[in-house]
Structure 1
Amino acid sequence: MPVYTTNHAPSVLKTHSWRTAQNSASYLLPHIKPSMKILDIGCGPGSITVDFASLIPSGHVTGIEYVPDPLNDARELATSRGISNIDFQVGDIHSLDFADESFDIVHVHQVLQHIRDPVKALQEMKRVAKPGGIVAVRESASMTWYPENKAITSWLDLTMKMGKANGGNPHPGRYIHVWAREAGFALDKIQRSAGSWCFSSPAEREYWGGSMAGRMESSGFAEGAVRDGFAGWEELGGIARGWREWVGEEEGWFGLLHGEILCWK
């Protein structure tokens, strides 16, 4: 089962809802065709999923999450945008409830880092992809920021420790192609690339730093950190203050590098 270190609290959904097909799946967009069937695993509030559906007017998208928490928001987003060629379900990436060769594209974004067996997950994704279909994966690889901020360093250390302790694989973007080979994809069928996010304008810093600060104060991550002895509320409060200090830095900059792969079946 997933080992996600947080839940779908408002501070988390704020981060996830910012993601779009353009800023989070641009490496895949040239391969999307109007009549495709797409499976989006770990869809969260559906912002990427709904974008996919808008690109395939004669196709269909299914979004799945391992818990139902964010799916009502995803359905409401689809309805608000007049998107009807879409559905959302609860499902487990380790055992997908779909027949072999069901989808033209099977997509995940920052999902494999949160599960215990990413190779098994990729095997399942491969199984439900059609012959000639694509398994698309994007995972964070590294982070950097300016100016130096001890609280943000503490945040990164804490997220790494909790992710590993819970059985996950934090920031695996640099080696997801290795997992794909272990799952049965030939190397010459794996296209590797990199993409990035950058937060530097006042609005971008407020979005990113504000949501990270919120996670330290009220989310499954914060509750788990305290419950399992990784940090106390006072330490988490200090990290939140550090994020807000960074938000106020006129020269503040945060970059996040992702590894990306397209795997042809």
Structure 2
Amino acid sequence: MPVYTTNHAPSVLRTHSWRTASNSAAYLLPHLTPSMRILDIGCGPGSITVDLATHVPSGHVTGIEYVPDPLPAAEALAASRGVKNVDFRVGDIHALEFEDESFDVVHVHQVLQHVADPVKALREMKRVVKSGGGIVAVRESASMTWYPENRGISDWLDLTGRMAKGKGGNPHPGRYIHVWAREAGFEMRNIKRSAGTWCFSSPEERDYWGESMAGRMESSGFAEGAVKEGFASPEELEGVARGWREWVGEEDGWFAVLHGEILCWK
């Protein structure tokens, strides 16, 4: 039931590898204790997963991904940092291969927007987290804004939204993920809501973000799918990539992402 619009091409992994526990899961970190057992769903290249493992030195973190493609890079990252209390495997968020109440924390970052039934996924996450204090942690994008105006970036946002909806996904659901949590069986009094941001404005940040986005338009599963499935022409993708690179060169260029965050206690 994944409806992911891209794959794990180098341009995509460049974006995902930038994510860390501090810049993408800060809302969760104060609630971690050293011996916790954590499940990180949608781990990708493992940058957040490995970071989480350093916060639970006497615990353990398991990262799962619905395809095996990024897992060798995740294992290599853990080895390069000397982090041993982590493992990676293939798994399905809708049918987790773990016993009830197996984990102290179940974490997802930018994952529920890419599955067809996020409420079912949350029910499964709730099943495998422990009662009496276990936490389900979710962070999803809610909105994006940038400066200066840029036709290519506007076309990119429109295209990604149309493509995600066309495949059955839920683009940028951060503003209502708490509603999904309630539908999955969590009580509102046990759901803590917050918001976090990413901001890219320095020359180095613009180069990282803008070139990653431009690269996705040129060589990735997203680009292939967009053309093959009729969402965009090659020329339109070229225009989007050109817009991103124009933004990279703007001295006043600024791009921000607002995320919705929830902590759900079972």
Task: Bin the TM-score by the shorter chain.
Answer: over 0.9
Q: Distance in 2 between matches of 1:162 and 1:65?
A: 21
Q: Distance in 2 between matches of 1:176 and 1:183?
A: 11
Residue 3 (structure 1) aligns with: 3
Q: Which amino acid aligns with 1:23?
A: N
Structure 2 unpaired stretches of 5+? none
How far apart are 1:260 and its partner, in Å?
A: 0.1
* Stretches of 4+ aligned residues off by more than 6 angstroms: none
Residue 184 (structure 1) aligns with: 185
User: How far does the alpha carbon of each residue in 1:120-140 deviate from its partner, in whole angstroms, 9 at most, with x for none?
Assistant: 000000000001200000000
User: How far does the alpha carbon of each residue in 1:33-86 deviate from its partner, in whole angstroms, 9 at most, with x for none?
Assistant: 100000000000000000011111100000000000000000000000001111
Residue 54 (structure 2) aligns with: 54
Residue 126 (structure 2) aligns with: 126
Q: Distance in 2 between matches of 1:96 and 1:39?
A: 10
Residue 27 (structure 1) aligns with: 27
Q: Which amino acid aligns with 1:60?
A: H
How far apart are 1:155 and its partner, in Å?
A: 0.2
Q: Which amino acid aligns with 2:18?
A: W
For 1:28-177, what aligned pairs fall within 5 Å after superposition?
Answer: 28-131=28-131, 132-177=133-178
Q: Distance in 2 between matches of 1:102 and 1:170?
A: 30
Residue 215 (structure 1) aligns with: 216
Residue 228 (structure 2) aligns with: 227
User: How far does the alpha carbon of each residue in 1:211-249 deviate from its partner, in whole angstroms, 9 at most, with x for none?
Assistant: 000000000000000000011111101110110000000
Please report the RMSD computed on the Cα atoms of aligned residues, expressed in angstroms: 0.3
How far apart are 1:101 and its partner, in Å?
A: 0.2
Provide the secondary structure at the position in 1 that maps to 2:130: strand
Residue 246 (structure 1) aligns with: 247
Percent sequence identity is 79
Aligned residues: 265
How far apart are 1:252 and its partner, in Å?
A: 0.1
User: How far does the alpha carbon of each residue in 1:169-225 deviate from its partner, in whole angstroms, 9 at most, with x for none?
Assistant: 000000000000000000000000000000000000000000000000000000000
Q: Distance in 2 between matches of 1:103 and 1:86?
A: 14
Residue 261 (structure 2) aligns with: 260
How far apart are 1:144 and its partner, in Å?
A: 0.2
Please give the TM-score of this superposition, normalised by the length of structure 2.
0.99
Q: Distance in 2 between matches of 1:86 and 1:253?
A: 36
Provide the secondary structure at the position in 2 that maps to 1:161: helix
Q: Distance in 1 between matches of 2:150 and 2:239?
A: 11
For 1:6-17, what aligned pairs fall within 5 Å after superposition?
Answer: 6-17=6-17
Q: Distance in 2 between matches of 1:235 and 1:157?
A: 12
How far apart are 1:146 and its partner, in Å?
A: 0.1
Q: Distance in 2 between matches of 1:198 and 1:52?
A: 22
